[in-house]
Structure 1
Amino acid sequence: MGSLIEDLVSRDAILAELACIVSDPGAKQQPLHADTLRIGSACAPSLTLFVPLQDTGASMGPTIVCQGTHNLESHVSLFKCEQVLMPQDVVVKKHGCLPAVSSSGTALVMNSNLLHCGGANLSEPMGGGRRRLFYVAWQ
């Protein structure tokens, strides 16, 4: 990953985050968001790497990503949806989001401006299970 990171954020990139998000069965879906906003933020975008630490099926609430939404137009659209209290399932559909169902260790590399969220983790009888998502961000 070293050469990819260097190409995208330079050799002088700062490690901004290093953590693991845990989602247990029954956890609700996160609201759609970007880690770095295009509206009203002085933060430079960063490169984010998500790595699921187990196979993640649809019932476990995989990360939901919205391809091509790392732009001002998409952020304004999300802001407008929030202002009218649009239901999250409608907001996700409106922004063309898809669940990142994947095998353990599969890396998802994204611009921190990309709209995304953690999906709903169903109950264990419905196939949910503890989901661990390791992530690193460089700025």
Structure 2
Amino acid sequence: MSSAASDLLYQEQEKLIVQRGELEETLISNVTPLEAPKIKIRGAGKARGFGKASSSSSNNNKAEGKEYAKVLKKEGVVRIDNVLSSETADALREYLYALRRKSESEVEEGKIQPIQRFADVLLKQNRCDLTVPMGDDIVTKALDESLRVSPIGAILSSIFGEDAVLHEFSCLMSDPGSQRQVIHPDTPFIEGKGPVLYTCFIALQDVTLDMGPTVWLPRTHCKEAHDEFQDTFASEGSESMKDALIRKQPVVLGTLAKGSCGIFDSRLLHCGTANRSANGASRALFYFSFKNPEVAYPGNPASIRAQLASANVKLGELVKDLQSLSKGKASELIDRLGSLM
């Protein structure tokens, strides 16, 4: 197929996706913001919320991680606030947008192929998925705050263990004019199998309603929801089971504060919404996902640089390296990974 014909086919497919996304937007009615739930740590003496700054205590992180994991496994999505400091979020955002401009120039000049810097994303216009290199100071700082200081590392470890494998490492950027995606899971539900992938979306600025926040459909990471979602047949005068599911299902909206995170099961139904910002605000979500070490292929192509994917980075090793760095010692793993970029 010629490039022109391929482009035309893609444009037609995009029109259908946009139309479907607009229809789904009309079906949804029960929408609330994704809130950070309160939990109580045994022995802590008081309730602790996701909105509180995370303790650096390893024992506290483990205890919090287990409690957060309970919510995550039940709902399929959970919010954690103050994962990144405001300063780190600002610096990382500036770094990534500069990297995007440089990468786009290098692609235009023919120096690199698009796949070397950008992953495929649903509805490409005004939206990109920029794969992130490891090794730069600000990226390392963001990893340290999210995986070691915040409870995220403990949450993932409590579910998958320390051998969980880094599957994605990227940044989703949604510019004004980007269209609403269709609702979808990132991976299929496989009967008899547990979760295969957890993804962490970290907001690098406040995500307001008009900036295209993610919507998640809690508790749809199950067989029943997936069976209904796959049934698109609609007889005359009635709607499909898929549309009925979307209509009746409660929805939570990822209007996250800067530095906050939404962690979700890859089987959960979700989508990115349209960025209708009138003041030109672009939304950036730094994200990474970790894979169940017992799963060979989770069912979705990974948004990650090839060199990083082939390194088979494990959660426990990465956290251990960050702990070493926090004590002023060498970070051998991160330095090695950085040299591959």
Normalised-by-shorter TM-score class: 0.7 to 0.9
The one-letter amino acid of 1:54's match is: Q
Q: What is the TM-score normalised by the length of structure 2? A: 0.36
Equivalence for 1:71:
222
Match of 2:281 in 1: 129
Matched residue type, 2:261? A
Which of the residues 90, 106, 111 maps onto 2:260?
A: 106
SS in 2 for 1:59: coil
Greater helix content: 2
> Any unmatched runs of 5+ in structure 1?
none
Q: How does 1:79-98 map to 2 (within 5 A)?
A: 79-81=230-232, 92-98=246-252
- Which of these two proteins has the greater Rg computed from alpha carbons? 2
Q: Is the 8 A contact 2:225 2:245 kept in 1?
A: no
How big is each residue's C-alpha offset from its partner over 1:94-124, in whole Å with a ceiling of 9 and x where there is no partner? 4322211110111111111111110111142
Conservation of the 8 A alpha-carbon contact between 1:32 and 1:91:
no
* SS at structure 2 position matched to 1:75: helix
Match of 1:118 among 272, 283, 304: 272
Among the aligned pairs, what percent are the same residue?
A: 34
Structure 2 Cα separation of the partners of residues 111 and 97 of structure 1: 15
Structure with the higher strand share, 1 or 2: 1
- Alignment match of 1:54 (pick from 205, 214, 217): 205
Which stretches in structure 2 are left out of the alignment for 5+ residues? 1-151, 292-341
Alignment-derived partner of residue 5 in structure 1: 156
Q: How many matched pairs?
A: 134
* SS state at 1:5 partner: helix
Larger RCO of the pair (alpha carbons < 8 Å, separation 6+): 1
SS in structure 2 of the partner of residue 22 of structure 1: strand
